[in-house]
Structure 1
Amino acid sequence: MTTTVENGCPFHDNVDRRKSAKVAEQHNHCEEGSHWVDKASVARKILCSKHARQAGASAEMLEYKNPEHAPVFFLDGKDHFNKRRKSQRFLSPKAVNDQHYKVMESVTKRLLDELQQNGSAKLEDISFQLAVEVVGEILGLTESNQQGKVRRIQWVLHSSISQAKNNMLSRAWLNAKRVFFTGLFFWFDVRPAIKARKKSPKDDAISTYIQEDYGNTAIIIECLTYGTAGMLTTREFIIMCAWYMLESPELAKEFLEGDSKKQLAILMEILRLEPIAAKVMRRVNDEVEGVEDQPLPPGERYEIDIRNVNLDEEFVGECPFAIDPERATKQKDTGRFYSFGDGPHGCPGWQVALHETRIFLTHFLQVPGIKLDREPDITWNDMLNGYELRNAMISCDKV
């Protein structure tokens, strides 16, 4: 993928091969009342501003009496900083190495053993199972049946991110399902975990919530917040990266032969081209220049077009459509670019998602006879502002 092409891109042919480009072009647009930002220099000012506030996912319409019990996604300023600092101990590179690595390895091996016994599977089922178990370990949701937990979480998340038809009956029905499935999730998964951690605390999130006197509702909210962020997005990330590598033996070879640093660089390059979240929203309480001819006044809402910002050559360098593992070094960047957002509300669990995907693909690509029998269907979820990949069928040699 990084060989020289004569009289062309020095890394690759720079052809746009993005899988999600078409569906994103159809659905990723600016909402009324917002300003569209597709330049990296302006996006950086907005995302990293001390006066930027979360403006997506109905954040501006929600209020909490106790900020300590509100999801970190919906907080700003000092409340946000304090809450994020507490959760970072579970999501840091040190936590990945010391705690989560073994879980990622063991769950991956078990799931791939099952794949080899069956000979085929849906990739979305495997990736979601992995994500649920890893996030479950981080949270402390370890006291219930794994298969049942996966189903219950899937029901809750699906009812939470599904869009009701524009009528009262449809909205009421969707809300009723959300309440019912959340109740099942609490009774069979969250409640047993709380009970166990009260007797014997561990180094996980639920033990921390109990120590800080979180109520049951606050704990459920935290679990579902991290569930959406850590399970749904990681599922799509794993599928997309696997798709790229299964269709390109050269890229798969480069990935498998590389050290962990190079493997992470390749994964971040795929994510740069195929960000799970196509845009993020912020409201900035200071003047912003560069979006329009005149500076915009404080209080305006901005939508950052992550997909196009990640192609801005002033930001990512030449040949933006090429997968270049050396790009981050040349651009003096971490390699994240804006795929995980940036600033105060950047994704706190990005290290977990990257290493989880890296570990899984390292073993997955070495499964004898592994191949993609059916490319995934690509759809769009307006509530998540991103693509979804479904029905990717994989097969391998049976054992």
Structure 2
Amino acid sequence: MTAEPVAHCPFHAPERKTGFGHDHLAPEIELQGDVWHLRSYAAVKQVLRDSERVRQGATTDNVLVTRLRPAVIFQDGEEHREQRTAIARFFTPKTVQDAHHPFIEALTERLIGQLEQAGGADLSALSMQLSVDVAARVVGLTNSSKPGMDRRIDELLSDGEINTGGSTGMVARLQGVLTQSKGLLRMSKFYRVDVRPAIQARRRKPQEDVITHLIGKGYNDLEILVECLTYATAGMVTTREFISVATWHLLENPEIREAYLASDRNERHRLLHEILRLEPVASTLWRRAEHDITLEQGGVVHAIPAGARMILDIRTANADSAAVGAEPLSLCLGRSLPSGVQAQAMSFGDGAHRCPGAFLAIHESDVFLQRLLSLPLRIAGSPQLTFNEMLMSYEIREFKIKLERPAERELPNVF
């Protein structure tokens, strides 16, 4: 598979806001210690699509997890296929448009109203509230006994002191929350204030959401809690970061911002997917070889034995010029891609574990960004960019945006 060169990028867009230096120059397939690092688009795609020989790389010895029915993120094989098929209906474009679009629009207007009244906002907080409230509606977390679920989830998932035993990634964060005393206390609060009231309400009156589905499948309260934590780690916080990085690009590039606002929905989504290709939030996936695997890269055959662990480098795969064309580290509105390569590349994963909420994430981001970027905004200082080693993702904080007020008309000097 070889991509055609990018025919024409209409604007000279800058490179990644979240650049890691020269990570894209590392070997495409490399064995470090006992872990295989896969960095090419072709190798990552092959492994993600090989459901017969490859399994989810995340495991845990935590008694709290192993004695429960496994959450969807821990599942593989037929069990995972059945669960994914059952929940897919909650995330289809039709369901998002018919059941959730009016809510997303109303929520956007409320948040924009707060920004306008205050004259500015911290976008990292604003985007967290949006992503949590939207995902909570789909999951069924709509009966909290106290406001502030976005803050509770942020506290639950953002404590850098959590020890995950050397593991990395979204699942490592979930494992850490379920292991550490501080995490258990916060999880208990999340359960009491947010999850338990939602479960009780749906036992009385079922709804068309994930929690109702889990109740119908016989999940107990603790198993439902773990599923809710999974959606929080894999959905809410990732959408938050994407909205921030997309805003960063579009506010600093007036031509691209203007093109985005003037485009139809399909073109806007294409641009957002290109930003996500360039700036994938979840940069690393873990997998384990259930059976021997053979990968060929550049004429070299790599034999990965059964039992071996693999790190799939999404950021580097997304910058593979063999798949995405020339200038892979630049934002290009007119990027030409070969058949089989999606605009966001591997940012939503691929194969059996591809993100089920991909359309929802882009749709809610687009609704919010259209409204936000129609305002006369400017960035008030540089956003704070850090890298979360446990989540293996970037975090954008202190992203202050302000409204530009029309300059007061100068009074004539009559003296």
**What range describes the TM-score normalised by the shorter chain of this pair?**
0.7 to 0.9
Alignment check: 8 A CA contact 1:116 1:398 kept = no
Could you tell me which amino acid in structure 2 is paired with residue 229 of structure 1?
A
Paired with 1:243 and 1:257, the residues of 2 have a C-alpha distance of 18
- 1:238 is displaced (CA, Å) by 0.3
Choose the corresponding residue for 1:277, options 266, 273, 282: 282
Could you tell me which amino acid in structure 2 is paired with residue 133 of structure 1?
D
Superposed CA offset, 1:1-60 (max 9, x none)? xxxxxxx9732577762111137959x99874211112222222111112211114x458
Instruction: Name the TM-score, length of structure 1 as normaliser.
Output: 0.87
User: 2:273 corresponds to which residue?
Assistant: 268
User: 1:259 corresponds to which residue?
Assistant: 264
Is 1:210 the counterpart of 2:215 in the alignment? Answer: yes
User: 2:144 corresponds to which residue?
Assistant: 144
Could you tell me which amino acid in structure 2 is paired with residue 77 of structure 1?
G
Paired with 1:385 and 1:217, the residues of 2 have a C-alpha distance of 27
Distance 1:32 1:73, change over 3 A: farther
User: 1:10 corresponds to which residue?
Assistant: 8
User: 2:311 corresponds to which residue?
Assistant: 303
Q: Secondary structure at the match of 1:374?
A: coil
- 1:300 is displaced (CA, Å) by 2.2
Q: Secondary structure at the match of 2:158?
A: helix
User: 1:382 corresponds to which residue?
Assistant: 389
Paired with 1:131 and 1:328, the residues of 2 have a C-alpha distance of 30
Distance 1:379 1:251, change over 3 A: same
Q: What is the percent sequence identity of the aligned residues?
A: 33
Alignment check: 8 A CA contact 2:140 2:212 kept = yes
Is 1:199 the counterpart of 2:204 in the alignment? Answer: yes
- How many residue pairs match? The answer is 383
Choose the corresponding residue for 2:56, options 45, 54, 57: 54
Instruction: Name the TM-score, length of structure 2 as normaliser.
Output: 0.84
Q: Secondary structure at the match of 1:70?
A: coil
Could you tell me which amino acid in structure 1 is paired with residue 17 of structure 2?
K
Distance 1:206 1:340, change over 3 A: same
Distance 1:330 1:289, change over 3 A: closer
Distance 1:154 1:346, change over 3 A: same
Is 1:185 the counterpart of 2:190 in the alignment? Answer: yes
Alignment check: 8 A CA contact 1:88 1:348 kept = yes
User: 1:116 corresponds to which residue?
Assistant: 116
- 1:289 is displaced (CA, Å) by 2.2
- 1:348 is displaced (CA, Å) by 1.4
Paired with 1:337 and 1:211, the residues of 2 have a C-alpha distance of 35
Paired with 1:172 and 1:198, the residues of 2 have a C-alpha distance of 27
Q: Secondary structure at the match of 2:304?
A: coil
- 1:329 is displaced (CA, Å) by 5.7
Distance 1:121 1:32, change over 3 A: farther
Q: Secondary structure at the match of 1:319?
A: coil
Alignment check: 8 A CA contact 1:140 1:204 kept = yes
User: 2:35 corresponds to which residue?
Assistant: 34
User: 1:245 corresponds to which residue?
Assistant: 250
Q: Secondary structure at the match of 1:117?
A: helix
Structure 1: gaps (5+ residues): 1-7
Q: Secondary structure at the match of 1:288?
A: strand
Moved more, 31-40 or 88-97: 31-40
Choose the corresponding residue for 2:402, options 379, 388, 395: 395
Alignment check: 8 A CA contact 2:286 2:309 kept = yes
- 1:278 is displaced (CA, Å) by 1.4
User: 2:293 corresponds to which residue?
Assistant: 287
Choose the corresponding residue for 2:369, options 353, 361, 367: 361
Distance 1:90 1:155, change over 3 A: same
Paired with 2:315 and 2:292, the residues of 1 have a C-alpha distance of 25
- 1:268 is displaced (CA, Å) by 0.7
Distance 1:243 1:172, change over 3 A: closer
Alignment check: 8 A CA contact 1:315 1:331 kept = no
Paired with 1:362 and 1:331, the residues of 2 have a C-alpha distance of 29
Alignment check: 8 A CA contact 1:116 1:397 kept = no
Distance 1:71 1:370, change over 3 A: same
Choose the corresponding residue for 1:335, options 333, 338, 343: 343
User: 2:83 corresponds to which residue?
Assistant: 83
Alignment check: 8 A CA contact 1:237 1:276 kept = yes
Paired with 2:96 and 2:321, the residues of 1 have a C-alpha distance of 32
Structure 2: gaps (5+ residues): 1-5, 166-175, 407-415
- 1:254 is displaced (CA, Å) by 0.8
- 1:189 is displaced (CA, Å) by 1.2
Distance 1:16 1:151, change over 3 A: closer
User: 2:173 corresponds to which residue?
Assistant: none
Could you tell me which amino acid in structure 2 is paired with residue 272 of structure 1?
R
Could you tell me which amino acid in structure 2 is paired with residue 46 of structure 1?
V
* Higher percent of residues as helix: 1
Q: Secondary structure at the match of 2:305?
A: coil
Distance 1:261 1:391, change over 3 A: same
User: 2:74 corresponds to which residue?
Assistant: 74
Distance 1:286 1:180, change over 3 A: same
Distance 1:271 1:60, change over 3 A: farther
Task: Provide the aligned C-alpha RMSD in A.
Answer: 3.0
Superposed CA offset, 1:46-84 (max 9, x none)? 11112211114x458886456xx3211111111111111
- 1:302 is displaced (CA, Å) by 1.7
Alignment check: 8 A CA contact 2:11 2:256 kept = no
Alignment check: 8 A CA contact 1:23 1:387 kept = no
Distance 1:330 1:55, change over 3 A: closer
